[in-house]
Amino acid sequence: MSTNKNITIKSEQDIAAMRIAGRLTSEVLDYLVPFIKPGITTNEIDKLAHDYMVNVQNAIPAPLNYTAGGDVPYPKSICTSVNHQVCHGIPSDKVLKNGDIVNVDVTVIKDGWHGDSSRMFLVGECSIAAKRLCQITYEAMWKGIQQVKPGARLGDIGAAIQKFAEGHSYSVVREFCGHGIGQGFHEEPQVLHYGKAGTGLELQAGMVFTIEPMINAGKKDIKEGSEKDGWSIVTKDRSLSAQWEHTIVVTPTGYEVLTVSNGTPAVPAFIGIRAV
């Protein structure tokens, strides 16, 4: 592993280790699928995920006691953000009900390496508006991923996501971004989900980072959740918010998604078939 301006370039060996952490991360999400039904609490989802990571995968849930530079250690093993919650929702006794949408965000540490991925789950039967927001946000993440190759710039990723989301009359949350990842949970660089093509850091093979756009059905503004728990974030206008996240490595020819497993949702049609 080599370092340049605080951005670590991962070696083939590092990437092999991150492939394992990434697969385990995605497998936690796969494992949760059948449980996320009306009536389950987000605490129950947290316990299922925690026990799976610790007991089945012999892995560490990175969020548990994580401080992110702030002073409030995160109290749970995953994040569960429901409806107008944008991100960092703390699992609680809240019961999921028919029609809710929930983002489950999982970060696994395996042999010292992190994998970070989140998906949206539809709880029971959801409205057309809720399903559309989840689908467009998924496609927005992939519009960003599609930009990744050596020589492209970080601004290309943000611009592609912003153009696509705003083209569907949604808005992009500004305050949170993707991030470098490796032996650290949140490394350099910051990966914004908005911006100007052709600007920002030039990508180079061996960089590993997340792309994790938060897209609101209404306005982009957010505020701290009324829970005052120091973590959860909601939309200011209480509109629905969705998010998807993958961990990506820049390869000599483009990108490879590290957070993949048997249950990974299919890529959008616009990605097409690529030579790997």
Residues in contact with ligand MF3 by the rule CB under 6 A: 63, 66, 68, 74, 79, 88, 105, 107, 116, 210, 212, 231, 245
Regarding 210 and contact with Co ion (CB under 5 A), the answer is yes
Q: Which does 68 bind (CB under 5 to 8 A by kind): ligand MF3, Co ion, none?
A: ligand MF3
| 165 vs 136: CA distance, rounded Å | 7
Burial of 3 (0-12, 13-18, 19+ CB in 10 A): exposed
Q: Tell me which residue of 232, 195, 239 sits closest to 215, measured CA to CA.
A: 239
Regarding 14 and contact with Co ion (CB under 5 A), the answer is no
Regarding 80 and contact with Co ion (CB under 5 A), the answer is no
| 101 vs 127: CA distance, rounded Å | 10
Q: Which does 165 bind (CB under 5 to 8 A by kind): Co ion, ligand MF3, none?
A: none
In SS3 terms, 257-271 reads as ECCCCCCCCCCCHHH
Regarding 256 and contact with Co ion (CB under 5 A), the answer is no
Give me the least distance between CB of 168 and ligand MF3, in Å please. Answer: 23
| 171 vs 162: CA distance, rounded Å | 8
Residue nearest to ligand MF3 (CB): 63
Give me the least distance between CB of 18 and Co ion, in Å please. Answer: 14
| 245 vs 182: CA distance, rounded Å | 15
Q: Which does 100 bind (CB under 5 to 8 A by kind): Co ion, ligand MF3, none?
A: none
The secondary element (H helix, E strand) that includes residue 82 is: strand 79-82
- Residues 167-206 vs Co ion: string with x where CB under 5 A? ----------------------------------------
